[in-house]
């Protein structure tokens, strides 16, 4: 892992040197854009800071694109300012430089902390998005399971009702549906409401036909009437 880190650091150093040779500003944005696979502020930033310290890098004003007269005036003015500072304010300039460097170092530390926090927040957002998707998936699966259990419970309930209906009929015979309804227990009527199906003659007939189709409790007489199955 250490070998890979050294190779990556050397690649960033070369990219910084190329930017410097091309007289481009060696900034975090320019550096990441110059890397073959890009990079993150959290990883590239500290290596860039080390490169600047190793190369004693200070951004310089690029004047090549300015008109020659402006360049001359700008160079002469800069030289005069530097000479005046060196001649009369050397000590003050040095103190200011040291203070500025201290501020820059502190600013770099704050910026690195902020960039690290941004990278962390991005990673955290990705993780939370994955977890949210997983929660939605689990909710959908739970809803499917709940509906399946509801169907199973409903089938078990109506199977018990049909068994009781069959007990109310003579073997090989039938009985009017209104009499069957009147003879059912109150708990069965309450159960039907819980399973959201009306307990009436149409529902009884539908459930009885369903059991007959599966060979349970009932059979058909020659005239097509559903009668209680023997055995």
Q: Which tokens belong to 113?
A: 């902390």
| DSSP calls for 42-74 | HHHHHHHHHHHHHHT-------TTS-HHHHHHH
- Which range is most confident: 76-85, 104-113, 136-145? 136-145
Q: At what angle do helices 68-88 and 90-167 cross, to 10 degrees?
A: 110
pLDDT of 102 reads 82
**pLDDT, tens digit, for every residue of 26-50?**
999 999 999 998 889 999 999 999 9
Give the mean model confidence (pLDDT) for residues 85-109: 78
Strands 226-228 and 218-220: antiparallel
- pTM score: 0.41
Q: Three-class SS of residue 85?
A: helix
pLDDT of 2 reads 62
| DSSP calls for 96-154 | HHHHHHHHHHHHHHHHHHHHHHHHHHHHHHHHHHHHHHHHHHHHHHHHHHHHHHHHHHH
Q: Which tokens belong to 227?
A: 């009668």
Give the mean model confidence (pLDDT) for residues 126-136: 90
Cα torsion through 26, 28, 33, 35, rounded to 10: 80
pLDDT-derived band at 212, boundaries 50, 70, 90: very high
**pLDDT, tens digit, for every residue of 166-181?**
899 998 888 999 999 9
Q: Distance between CA 217 and CA 162 in Å, rounded?
A: 7
Q: Distance between CA 51 and CA 92 in Å, rounded?
A: 28
Residues 17, 52 contacting (CB under 8 angstroms): no
Q: Which tokens belong to 209?
A: 């036909």
Q: Which tokens belong to 142?
A: 């739970």
Name residues whose C-beta falls within 8 Å of residue 221's C-beta, 6 or more positions apart in sequence: 172, 174, 227
**End-to-end alpha-carbon separation of the chain, Å?**
78
């Amino acid at each position: 892992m250490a070998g890979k880190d050294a190779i990556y650091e050397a690649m960033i150093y070369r990219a910084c040197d190329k930017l410097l040779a091309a007289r481009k500003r060696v900034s975090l944005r320019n550096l990441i854009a110059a890397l073959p696979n890009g990079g993150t502020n959290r990883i590239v930033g500290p290596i860039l800071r080390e490169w600047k310290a190793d190369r004693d890098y200070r951004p310089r004003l690029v004047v090549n694109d300015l008109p020659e007269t402006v360049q001359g005036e700008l160079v002469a003015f800069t030289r005069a300012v530097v000479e005046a500072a060196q001649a009369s304010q050397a000590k003050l300039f040095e103190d200011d430089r040291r203070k500025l460097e201290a501020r820059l170092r502190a600013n770099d530390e704050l910026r690195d902390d902020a960039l690290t926090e941004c990278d962390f927040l991005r990673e955290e957002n990705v993780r939370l998005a994955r977890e949210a998707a997983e929660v939605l998936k689990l909710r959908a699966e739970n809803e499917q399971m709940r509906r399946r259990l509801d169907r199973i419970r409903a089938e078990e309930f109506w199977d018990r009702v049909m068994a009781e209906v069959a007990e109310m009929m003579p073997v090989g015979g039938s009985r009017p549906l209104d009499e069957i309804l009147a003879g059912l227990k109150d708990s069965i009527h309450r159960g039907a409401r819980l399973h959201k199906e009306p307990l009436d003659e149409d529902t009884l007939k539908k459930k009885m036909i369903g059991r007959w189709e599966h060979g349970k409790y009932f059979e058909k007489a020659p005239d097509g009437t559903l009668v209680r199955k023997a055995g």
